[in-house]
Amino acid sequence: MAIAYYTEEGLKKLKDELHELKTVERQSVIRQIAEARDKGDLSENAEYDAAKDAQGLLEIKIAKLEEIVANARIVDSAQLDISKVSILTTVRIKNLKNNAEMKYTLVAENEADLKSGKISIDSPIGKGLVGRKVGDKVEVTVPAGVIPFEIMEISL
């Protein structure tokens, strides 16, 4: 798995979720299996089968999160170069079709939250903006078509 960059807050959220899965969720599934096992014949016990399936899915989710956390790196905003668009920079762009201006902060995929102006660096707009500088014009292909943008400002 590739290295992914996160804010300190984003990585903490991942670690908290992993802790919750390993402690609370895992114990809950173990309890469900034990209760189903106590009901007798396991060969025709749908509750037992469902609990075992839930356990398998939980363990897969835990393994994936452990891998993500192991490959996560925290981005130090003091080290960022704001001469070009990169992760954790905030970019003000103008849609050249309708002159609407938008401001987005580029973040890791799991930290994206459009309502708070955070878009994934892996989104079509994020990919189209990375590495660009103020004044650059870029055409970004989105599901609705191609949108021409101009980069107006880059900040932290």
pLDDT by 10s per residue, the chain, length 156: 677 778 788 889 899 999 999 999 999 999 998 888 888 777 778 888 888 999 999 999 999 999 989 988 887 767 778 889 988 899 999 999 999 999 999 988 888 888 999 999 889 999 999 999 999 999 999 888 999 999 999 998
Cβ atoms 138, 76 nearer than 8 A: no
Whole-angstrom distance, CA of residue 42 vs CA of residue 44: 6
The pTM for the full model equals: 0.65
**Pick from 59, 69, 48, 63: nearest CA to 26:** 59
Domains (range + CATH), the chain:
4-74 (1.10.287.180), 77-155 (3.10.50.30)
